[in-house]
Amino acid sequence: MSFKYKMQESARSKKSPLVLALDFPFEPADNRNNILIKAQKILKAVYPYICAVKINHHLTLPLGTFDGVTNLVEQIRREGMLAIMDAKVNDIGATNQIIAEYYFAAGFDAIIANPFVGWEEGMKPLFDVAKHLNRGVILLTYMSHKGAVEGYGQTVIDPLTGEQIPQYVSFARRAAQWGADGVVVGATRPEKIAEIKSILQGKAAIYSPGVGVQGGGAEAAVRAGADYLIVGREITMASDPAEAAQRLLYSIKKY
């Protein structure tokens, strides 16, 4: 079963398109045990409303990939969710391959990567590992922060056609061509979600971060074509994470 299909099944089972970004602020060394405890507590509270969990360097750096993070991945799996590693892989192919192998060995179902490095001796080894292990690859296509326009919005020349196109259009085309399971497009850019949706033509799912604190609207993102909403601080920083997740999910179901 492909990762794309597993996500569809998880979303159907949970009746939710929400992906939790399990990110926390920096903690001094003597407080870092609290990070694991807090993460476990939030997962236990919100799992009924979440179909997958995205983990970033916020947890892998202080907890260790094969220590605390592996424990969290096991908990995520037990609660019927999928685990996505937001590594933003962006190196030469040999390094990308090893990064993917380690994170997949830690139990992650999918990994987020940057298509900027190209295919040959870039993304191809990572895709090969994912295919061999039946895991997923999600490609950055247009991020949610304000400065994203400086990179993803710049005009580039397609090396095959000579056509001048925005960088994000090039990335969306690569995602469809390479067989990516999904793409990241910020919820703060609903017009880009709609445009990229038309390029992908159902070949990859759209994951939209930036809902809530960054200003992205869940309704606008869903209406534009987002398949999954990645939500972090709106839930993790709430006084009652379960209530926050439930409230957001119910609001999405209205439309």
Q: Which two tokens stand for residue 4?
A: 């794309």
Rg of the chain over CA atoms, in angstroms? Answer: 17
Q: Helix (H, G, I), strand (E, B), or coil: what is residue 225?
A: coil
**Residues facing residue 142 across a β-bridge:** 185
What separation, in Å, do the N-terminal and C-terminal C-alpha atoms of the chain show?
Answer: 29
User: What's the CA gap between 131 and 179, in Å, rounded?
Assistant: 10
Q: Which two tokens stand for residue 105?
A: 């060995």
100 contacts 89 by C-beta, under 8 angstroms: yes
Select from 179, 238, 189 the least CA-distant residue to 213: 238
Q: Which two tokens stand for residue 31?
A: 């407080």
Helix axes 70-78, 33-46, angle to 10 degrees: 10
Catalytic residue numbers read 88
CA–CA–CA angle 97, 150, 170 (5° rounding): 55
Select from 178, 184, 186, 179 the least CA-distant residue to 118: 178
66 contacts 73 by C-beta, under 8 angstroms: no
User: What's the CA gap between 50 and 243, in Å, rounded?
Assistant: 12
